[in-house]
Every structure is written in structure tokens, then in C-alpha cells.
Structure 1
Amino acid sequence: MSSARLLSLLQKIVVSFALLALVSGCTTASTPEQVLTVPAAPQKYAAIVVDARTGKQLFEMNSTASRYPASLTKMMTLYLVFEALESGRLSKETQIPVSANAASQPPTKLRFRAGETVDVDTAIKALAVKSANDVAVAVAEYLGGSEDAFAAAMTAKARQIGMRGTVFRNASGLPDGGQHTTARDMAVLGLALRARFPQFYYYFSATDFMFRGQLVRGHNELLSRVPGVDGIKTGYVRASGFNIVTSYDAGGKRLVVVVMGADSARERNAHAEMLLQRALSPSPAKAQFVFGN
């Protein structure tokens, strides 16, 4: 066995025991356990579950480890849009111009042409539901003067609300080696969006919207699959794996679940749902989490 393969195997064993200790409270157990597979590589996986009413951390693994946010970045882009709406700098009818730079962004996007405009209400839906990269850049250029300046404002706002491990380099979440975050910080941002902008939070619950006579569908299948889930954002780039921030509000319970680094959207969704159901259970069975790859 090569040294690299041996090191990888040892890392998986160590992390598996760490997860077992975290969930069951010890490294050995005298009662049968449920074995649950984590659908991610150890170096990409991170997760956290937070009680949104009390701030209590109900589960975490690698929650302060540096990860790529992918399109979860747009949560902060929207935070700054909502601030601009509150201050009166924007209205929902404000027309945002689309530059050649914005129009040239890779998918996912709404395929605006340079010189066109998008109203703020549509822009919010495009970011929250479709995760449109062309719209993200157009918004950043309009509010920040440039995307670089807007990204600096995003990072400053992150520090202000308690996101200690996050640096933003763009408004979309497209690959940039200098852009990083943590699962904990994404939970903080998810909590802050609901607490700070309850009047705008409904945008995160939308599963589709109409654009130029066409129905545009979103990526967050948990919204229609799991009762009580009311947002918030998914994301993917190759370097990050499949990410999600999920909010739940039902039956007197309010939770935020973050999963980062999953191998597929389906496995990410299933894992987030499993963490949510365990957090809602009054007495969850002991579990041993093991990595599936």
C-alpha cells in the first residue's frame, strides 16, 4: 500500500472515531449503534446543526474548518441587497444594468445581454432561486462600483455579524482560491438573514419564478420534500462539493442545518434531512458516522 493511500485510510479512521465520540459522547458503546454514512470526502465534509431560537449547537463536524462556499456566497450578496432596500438605496423596481462582464459569466445564469437591465425584485429571485451568476455580478457592480469593492464590503459585513472564518472575493461563488468560509459561518449567516430581514425571508422559500414568460425552477429540492423546511440556499463548484444551508421552522422548532462537501446533490439533501430529523428527535439513537469514500 502506498504511503499516500495509507495516510488517507488513517485519516478516515481517525475522523470516524471523532464523529463517534461527538455523537455518542464516548469512543466505545455498549449498545448497538446505527451506522450512518457521510456522503463526502473527509477533507471536504463539514456540517453543523444549530437551534435558531437558543443558538445552541446540536451537532457539528469540521464546522470551523476552511471550505469553499460556492453559491452559498449569494446569501451574503442578498444580505447587502436587503440592506440597500431597507435604507432606500434600492427599491424593488430599481433597474440594475447588466455589463458585458456580468453577461459573460458562466452558468448558472439568466443569459442577459450586455446593456439590458434587471429589476431588483427579479434579481433577488434570480439569486435566491436560480443562483444566477450574471445577476450576482450585475448587482455587485451596481452596489459596489466594482465586484472587487463589493466583495470587500461582503467580507466586512461578515466580520460585523460574527463570521470569523470567511473571506469573499466575488459575489457569485464561482471558483476563487482566496474565497473561503466555514460551516459555522454559513449557519451564522443563515440565522442573521432570518433575524435581520424577516420581511424578505420569503424569497428563500420560493421553488420557482416566472421570467420573460418562462418558469424558472430552483435547485433546493428540500423545500418541496421536507415539511417545515423554508429555505435557504444550495451551492456547488468542483472544489467545494455540494453544499446546502437549510432552515426549518415548524412545531415550535426552528433549526439551521449546514452540510458542505457532499458527493452529489441527492446525497447532500439526504444527509441534511437525516441531520435535521435527528435534531428533531426527542431521543435519537446512538450513531456512528463513517465516510463513504
Structure 2
Amino acid sequence: MSRILTRGLTTVMLFLALTGTTLAAPFAAIVIDARDGRVLYSDNADARLHPASLTKMMTLYLVFEAVAKGQLSLDQKVKVSSNAASEPPSHLGLRTGERISVRDLIRAAAVKSANDAATALGEAVGGSEAEFAKMMTAKAATFGMHNTNFRNANGLTQTNHYSSARDMAILGRHLLYDYPQYYNLFSRKSTVTDGKTVYNTNRRLLSSYRGADGIKTGYTNAAGYNLVASAERGNERVIAVVFGGRSSRARNAKVAELLDLGFSKAPAMVAVVKPAIGRNPGVRETDAPRPRGDVPDGILTASLKAIEDAVVPSAAASTPDPAMIRVSAYAPKTVSSPRARPGSARSLPAMQSRSIAAVVEARPPLARDSAAEAWTVQLGAFKDRTYAVNVLAKATRQGAPALQGAKGSVEKATVKGLTLYRARLSGNSPVSAEEACAHLRAMNQVCRPVSD
């Protein structure tokens, strides 16, 4: 009997070896709104699974941090250890004793997903890969990554080396917002490192999905095909994570499907709430962080209230019913950083009055040529009135000089049965509308000049 079982097992193992078939890795996925971290979809998102080369996201984060603190420089040469040089593919082919710049190692780890480069970086920051792994896990804890433990810098399968889809989404947000100057690395389809051209392991999705701009793939037999991907369309940015894909093609198709789902569910306009460190900032199903602008809450509330009071509700009709407000061209100068603690009772009334004056200023009409001012700066059309008001308030605070004397409005309209709220700044010349949009786009505000 035992001989029969042994033969059967041998036959199965031989079949698997010949066909290349492996047992499927557990599947997990999550989609979040990158702007504020809210969860839009999740499936098995907290399961502790093999992250594979998604691990390199944390390796790179700690390297970026070390550079920011002056502990490393991008042009500093790192001596490659035998430990790093012996890492299996994917690798750059580093040799023991070779010296290579931190910049080249970063490119190799981020774009090619080179294991030897990741290990060399970890040793440069932590002194040894084991110590660096402890630093990685400690940093993960400050991010609220409660289902993550690192044992190496590259993601090769190792006991007690694990993470989750949710945790990797959290890490993706931190890379995006904490070190935006390096984020473009993940969008490069190829780069030159150490004199060699290397190609992005994620280049197929980057080429095929509209708005995709990063960030990291991962694969081992134990993990399956993993991917953290981010895409941006207009004001919206979504992050999708997949663990346990059956193939790179199937993984990419699933990620594209999840990104589509994310964009379909993400609000048109959300205030960016950058990820926090050290206060349990994990992404949760019930998270709905209160948006914070670039001014204290009391000021922002007063500003929005002033605009809300100026917007006259229209009847439920298809004809837009705008209520106009005068926009000050000098709003940023009037909203200064107060010495008192933001939101304190002592300082709030004064700040409120300054803020309201900045957003809605009662000024006599300027003598302007109406024929030359038949242009509107359109900031977007939104399903939610509050978002439209928020966008208008933000644009007035950004204070493009070309908008002096322009009139801000939130207009309600019905288009094909859908109620929309348009945030607009009217009374511009063609030149001033273009100049204003150039200023606002530089501040990451969607803007389009429209002829009235």
C-alpha cells in the first residue's frame, strides 16, 4: 500500500515539475482612494501573505529617508558585500567588492527589482541585512502596518517574512506622499544604472492602463504574482493591490479591473489627507478622515460658510442658477499663519474675519471691457455641491493674479438627468483666463478656460 502511495505521489510531483504547475498562492486584494486612504474595495486584505518584491518598497522608503537625513548621499559609493552579490535573480549582477553609487542601486531596485541592489542598500543603511530588516519592521509599525514583518531587504521567501494587501496599500501611500520627488522612478519603463539599461518589471501595465504611473511588482513561487499599482485621472488617484495572481497577465488584468472599480467609486473631489506616522494610521473599512486643507479648520469652515451663504439654491431645473461672489486677487496675503494655536478660541474670530474677507470681498466693480471678458475659468463639474464649494474656496486662496476682479460661482445644472455643480470663475479675458489656469495647474488644480 505504501509503495502504491509513494508511486502516486512521485507521479504527481513529476507531473507538476513537467507542466510547471504550482499550487495557487492565496489571493488578496484592496483598492483605496490614494487621496485620503478610504477603502473602496477589499478581499482578504488582512491575510498575512508573502509580499515578494513588494518588500523593496519599504527598502526604498528607508533609503529615501536616510538620504533626506543626510545619512547617505545619492552619489555615495557603496561596497558590495558577498551576501549582496550572491542574491539570486532578478539581479543586477553585482560582484563582491564592487563599488556602486546609491543612485544606481535605487534605480536597479525600483525599476528592475534587483535583489542584489536591494540587499546592498539595506546593508548600507542598517549595517547588516538583519539589522535593516528590524528597521523595516519598526517603520512599518509606525505606519500602522499591523500584519507585516520583514526578515530581508529584497522579498525573497523566508520564514516570518510577511505582509498584507492592506499594509502594502498603506506603504504605497507613504511612498507617494512622503517622497514625491522619487515617485517618478516607479513610472519609468526603463532606466540606465551602472552603465546598463534595465527595464521596468511593471512596464506592461504602465503602457496599457490610462493614468497608471507606478509602483511595484513582486513574484516568488510562494507569493504568486503580486502588484501594488497607482493611477491618476484628473483629480482622482487610486491605489490597487493584488497578492497571489496566477500569472503576470492575469494579475495585470485584475489590477486594471480593480483600478476601474476604484475610479468608479471614488468621489470626484476629495481633500488630500497625507498619511500620518505614529498615530495608528492604518487604512480601515470604516475610515472617513475629516479633510484638512492648507489652513486651520476654523478658517476653512468660515471661508466655506461665506461662499455657501453667497450661493443661492436654485430650483430643481435644468437651467443653471448661479450666485456670484467677488474673488479677491490677494487672498493668500490675507490668510497668514497665526501665532496662536490653530482653532484656539482666542484667535479664531480674527482669523475668521480675515479669511472671509479673503474669499468673499465686497468691492466695487472694476471698469472692464465686457466684450473682452467673456471667458470663464472652469474648475470642474461635481456631483457633490460641497466639493464644488471646496474647490472654489481653494482656488480663491491660491490667488492667481490674473483673477483679480473675477466672479466666483457655484452653478447647479442638470445634464442628461444628472445634477451637477460647476465651480467657475467668470469675467476674464482670454489672456487672463489662460494665465489663471497656468497658475492653478501649477498648484495641482484642474482648470480649463471656456469662452462664454
TM surpasses 0.5 = yes
Q: TM-score range by the shorter chain?
A: 0.7 to 0.9
- Which whole-Å CA distance do the structure 2 matches of 1:143 and 1:43 have between them? 32
Aligned to 2:91: 109
Report the alpha carbon displacement of residue 121 of structure 1 after superposing the two structures with TM.
1.1
Aligned to 1:245: 228
Mapped contact 2:25–2:222 kept (Cα < 8 A) = no
Report the residue type matching 1:69 in the other structure: P
**1:53-92 pair list within 5 angstroms:** 53-92=35-74
SS state at 2:60 partner: helix
Picking from 254, 268, 271, the partner of 2:254 is 271
- Which whole-Å CA distance do the structure 1 matches of 2:218 and 2:265 have between them? 31
Aligned to 1:128: 110
Picking from 158, 168, 192, the partner of 1:186 is 168
- Which whole-Å CA distance do the structure 2 matches of 1:55 and 1:96 have between them? 36
Report the alpha carbon displacement of residue 64 of structure 1 after superposing the two structures with TM.
0.4
Report the alpha carbon displacement of residue 238 of structure 1 after superposing the two structures with TM.
0.5
Larger Rg, first or second structure (1 or 2)? 2
Report the residue type matching 1:261 in the other structure: G
Report the alpha carbon displacement of residue 42 of structure 1 after superposing the two structures with TM.
7.9
- Which whole-Å CA distance do the structure 1 matches of 2:59 and 2:37 have between them? 24
- Which whole-Å CA distance do the structure 1 matches of 2:167 and 2:235 have between them? 24
The farther-off stretch of 75-84 and 222-231 is: 222-231
Q: Say whether 1:143 aligns with 2:130.
A: no
Mapped contact 1:165–1:185 kept (Cα < 8 A) = yes
Aligned to 1:16: none
- Which whole-Å CA distance do the structure 2 matches of 1:173 and 1:43 have between them? 15
Query: Is the alpha carbon distance of 1:111 and 1:62 closer, same or farther for their aligned partners in structure 2, counting shifts above 3 Å?
Result: same
RMSD in angstroms over aligned alpha carbons?
1.6
User: TM-score, structure 2 length as denominator?
Assistant: 0.52
Report the residue type matching 1:240 in the other structure: A
SS state at 1:200 partner: helix
Query: Is the alpha carbon distance of 1:195 and 1:102 closer, same or farther for their aligned partners in structure 2, counting shifts above 3 Å?
Result: same
Aligned to 2:79: 97
Query: Is the alpha carbon distance of 1:214 and 1:136 closer, same or farther for their aligned partners in structure 2, counting shifts above 3 Å?
Result: closer
SS state at 1:115 partner: coil
Aligned to 2:212: 229
Report the residue type matching 1:106 in the other structure: P
Query: Is the alpha carbon distance of 1:213 and 1:94 closer, same or farther for their aligned partners in structure 2, counting shifts above 3 Å?
Result: closer
Aligned to 1:210: 192
The farther-off stretch of 116-125 and 178-187 is: 116-125
Report the residue type matching 1:130 in the other structure: K
Report the alpha carbon displacement of residue 161 of structure 1 after superposing the two structures with TM.
1.1
Query: Is the alpha carbon distance of 1:242 and 1:204 closer, same or farther for their aligned partners in structure 2, counting shifts above 3 Å?
Result: same
SS state at 2:29 partner: strand
> Structure 1: 5+ residue runs without aligned partners?
1-39, 284-293
Aligned to 2:314: none
Deviations 1:41-100 (A, max 9, x none): 886100000001122111000000111000000000000000011001111101111011
Report the alpha carbon displacement of residue 228 of structure 1 after superposing the two structures with TM.
0.8
- Which whole-Å CA distance do the structure 1 matches of 2:201 and 2:42 have between them? 25
Picking from 217, 240, 245, the partner of 1:262 is 245
Report the alpha carbon displacement of residue 212 of structure 1 after superposing the two structures with TM.
4.6
- Which whole-Å CA distance do the structure 2 matches of 1:279 and 1:121 have between them? 34
Number of equivalences? 244
Q: Say whether 1:164 aligns with 2:146.
A: yes
SS state at 1:248 partner: strand
SS state at 2:218 partner: strand
Mapped contact 1:41–1:262 kept (Cα < 8 A) = no
Mapped contact 2:219–2:225 kept (Cα < 8 A) = yes
Report the alpha carbon displacement of residue 281 of structure 1 after superposing the two structures with TM.
2.6
Mapped contact 1:244–1:259 kept (Cα < 8 A) = yes
Aligned to 1:197: 179
SS state at 1:67 partner: coil
Deviations 1:210-242 (A, max 9, x none): 235432111102112112111100000101100
The farther-off stretch of 94-103 and 273-282 is: 273-282
SS state at 2:213 partner: strand
Aligned to 2:31: 49
Deviations 1:231-261 (A, max 9, x none): 1000001011000000112211111100110
- The alignment-based identity, stated in percent, is 49
User: TM-score, structure 1 length as denominator?
Assistant: 0.80
